[in-house]
Structure 1
Amino acid sequence: MTIADGSLATLTGKPFEGTIMQIRIASSNARDASSACDEVIQTLADGHWSLIIAGFNTEHDASLLQQRLTQAFDCPIMAGSSCLGALGIEQQTQAQAGLVLWALADHSGNYGVGACSQGDDPRQAAQQALEKALAQSGREYESPALLWCILPPGQEECVLQGFSDVVGPNVPVLGGSSADNDVSGQWQQFHRQGVGVDLIQVAVFFPSGSVGVSFSSGYQPSGQTLVATQVAGRQLMELDGQPAAQRFNQCIDGAIEQQLEGGNVLALTTLHPLGRCIPMADGPDDYLLSHPDAVTESGALTLFSEVAQDESLELMTGSIDGLVNRAGKVLENARQLLPKEEKPVGALMIYCAGCMLTIGEQVHAMAADVHANAAMPIMGLYTFGEQGCFVDGQNRHGNLMISAVVFGQ
């Protein structure tokens, strides 16, 4: 199914009284999942919500969360696990709450959530999930303003192709890949109908106001360019005609010397990712990052995203200060893209889990800076992969990225 642009219609849901879009955040640090649910349900009990998106620590039982939240709220729900918790900002700032809900009420908009197990054909599964979301919204043959996704890590490029098959390439897709706390594969997703480790989830937004989106990183090009001379999907066998791990190690002053015969390098490479230049017609170029996570016994580098054969890759550099300060700037960029006459009423954010783990306790400074830059309710997820679009409008999957969507009224 492909769709065309269409005009806004009326939501068949239970709104707040009045015509104003409202966004609220409910968060809990309770260690017990049932107690956490009690807290967030009580916070949002007075609302008639159009959509709820949740982020949670994998220490919580996803099945229990799904059961309690679907009993409490009758709107579309989507949720994904977030590394060490999720970011929740409203009256207070919680950088790593165990459970955070982002609740939207918009009686003049339309919303829907679709999900499908990834299986052996993630592109087809993505198509099916999006078609379900559009059907739930009541706007099957129209183009939404935004897609927000929560995905299992591993096949994100194929998933984005599947979304494009349905709505075309020009609808912004933002979101992230579910995460656990130790990269052991314990990530999960849930929606109204089920819980899983491989659920492709997507929400369609036909909001009554505008959206501003931003997708960026806190890294700078080092000036060293490498060529991917032998690749296979997410495995980089050669750089500049040399074994990839060996050549990469030379460029980062021996930081992975002890792992050249095989081993995990995730933490060692967070401040030295590989970047693909995305030329911009106006303004400075952007960079889409790939994060090396391991060295194979044959000396190849495995990545969290795909690179192409013979693609030029820039060695990027980052710093703790840059990663702490960048999130607020990405949020501000998204806010500035709203029409001047519209007031920002809330935001969704994605912040790479690798960046969060690298800045450590500075995550609280990052959250405080985001709060200081925007007086609105915000939820953020710490993810193992980020989906977004630069100013050129093309949707991409990357690593170590930050994104924001700001909703206007």
Structure 2
Amino acid sequence: MFKANVGSSTAEDARAAGREAAAAAGAGLEDVKVVLAYCSCDYNVDEVVAGIGEAIPDVPVLGNTSFTGVVVPGAGYVGGDVPFVGVMALADPEMVVSVVAANRAENDDPVEAGVAMAETALDLAETDFAPEYFYMAASPAEEEFYLKGISSVIGREPFFGGSAADNTIAGNWKLYAGDQSFADGCVAAFFWNAPSMTNVFTGAYRETDDFGVITKVEGNRTIAEIDGVPAAKKLQEWAGCSDDDIAGGNLLAYTVLSPLGVKDRLGDLIAIRHPMNGNEDFSINVGNNVTEKTCVIRMEATVDELIQSVPDTLRQLIDRMPGEPAAFHLVHCGGRRAGIDARIGEVAAAVAEVAGDVPYIMEFTFGEYGFESDNNNTCGGLMLSFTGFSN
């Protein structure tokens, strides 16, 4: 029988924090197969992982730093002005989990790195069968390429997860798995004989009637033109924003409530593309890959709607699950968290009310991963990827 438990800590010492959080997460569990851990970038993450290993020995640990905090049962929102760690332990006597890592410094090609990760996972599990699903975390840069490499080996198996984050968008994030930690790369856990996994992946924004075709892209993540017009100028035309609003990093904050979206081929999912920076040539850097001759839609939400989307999405997840929920893994965009700001306590209270006695952990990421009804795994930003496990 699958079981999960959660713990957290804000102890000043990183190792002690990891140990305290893991001791709470491991209490009452047998056959723990993997530990998912999310901590502050202000901690030494190697010490956090070491502390977790002292409390739950001989079990693989993986995860990433989270933007400003985590949300867990009982304690609610943990973090803010103090370092934090949140831990979820997953236990099942029948479950097999392979944990792998790819340090970008050791492989120049993220697609090849993804291939190697999947092949190593199969070797560790001593099987040639694809897993039922997998969890992934990566640095916020090349997520789609790691996914492409992994999928080339195991096929289109559903996944969930999110990108590492720091507190100031300064590149101080970290990923960790086993005895490795690094800022640039990917970590993943592959699951066999595992509980049923259900995912809801949404931006929960409203579509506007402002849309256009991307007519010029530079690299993978810079929209140069929409409908032949410089992208930032087109955004001004649509939203009425000022020159200051679209200048440099100001664009990131402005577009939390008005980002861009790209529909999938069936219309089931609008993957959000968060404008991150406005350039001097009025091109826009976005947080995920884009391609020419596709349509982008300007999306909208209020802060109230960002908050309400959390319990609404969790209820939607519960309704989709084939059995009684046993645990929730909730990935919430760090940009949305910044937009919600001091009202984050309302989010924590809403999650606690809907989740009831089911253990859960919420992290805040700089990229979110999930899928919708056609199982087409997708990476996005400013999104919610809510995952439920049921026996």
Instruction: Answer whether TM exceeds 0.5 for this pair.
Output: yes
Residues 114-263 of structure 1: pairs in structure 2 closer than 5 A: 114-118=100-104, 119-138=107-126, 140-169=127-156, 171-232=157-218, 233-255=220-242, 257-258=243-244, 262-263=248-249
Partner of 1:60: 43
CA RMSD of aligned residues (A): 1.8
Partner of 2:63: 79
Residues 21-32 of structure 1: pairs in structure 2 closer than 5 A: 21-32=2-13
Distance 1:396 1:182 in 2: 25
Deviation at 1:358, TM superposition (A): 0.3
Does 2:320 align with 1:333?
no
Does 2:381 align with 1:394?
no
Q: Does structure 1 retain, via aligned residues, the 8 Å contact 2:19–2:53?
A: no
The one-letter amino acid of 1:301's match is: I
Does 2:381 align with 1:381?
no
Deviation at 1:264, TM superposition (A): 4.2
Does 2:385 align with 1:403?
yes
Deviation at 1:101, TM superposition (A): 0.5
Partner of 1:290: 273
1:32-67 deviations in Å (ceiling 9; x for gaps): 323312322332255341110000111111121122
Partner of 1:36: 17
Distance 2:314 2:384 in 1: 9
Distance 2:387 2:58 in 1: 24
Does 2:84 align with 1:98?
yes
The one-letter amino acid of 1:152's match is: S
Q: Does structure 1 retain, via aligned residues, the 8 Å contact 2:22–2:87?
A: no
Q: Does structure 2 retain, via aligned residues, the 8 Å contact 1:57–1:86?
A: no
Deviation at 1:392, TM superposition (A): 1.7
Q: Does structure 1 retain, via aligned residues, the 8 Å contact 2:247–2:277?
A: no
Distance 1:53 1:302 in 2: 31
Gaps of 5+ in 2: none
The one-letter amino acid of 1:322's match is: E
Distance 1:28 1:193 in 2: 21
Distance 2:144 2:22 in 1: 35
Alpha carbons of structure 1 residues 329 and 146: separation in structure 2 relative to 1, 3 Å: farther
Alpha carbons of structure 1 residues 208 and 388: separation in structure 2 relative to 1, 3 Å: closer
Deviation at 1:208, TM superposition (A): 4.2
Q: How many percent identity over aligned positions? A: 27
Distance 2:60 2:249 in 1: 42
Q: Does structure 2 retain, via aligned residues, the 8 Å contact 1:262–1:298?
A: no
Moved over 6 A (4+): none
Q: Does structure 1 retain, via aligned residues, the 8 Å contact 2:18–2:50?
A: no
Deviation at 1:261, TM superposition (A): 6.1
The one-letter amino acid of 1:344's match is: P
1:210-235 deviations in Å (ceiling 9; x for gaps): 12111111201011112211112101
Partner of 1:7: none
Choose the corresponding residue for 2:350, options 357, 369, 380: 369
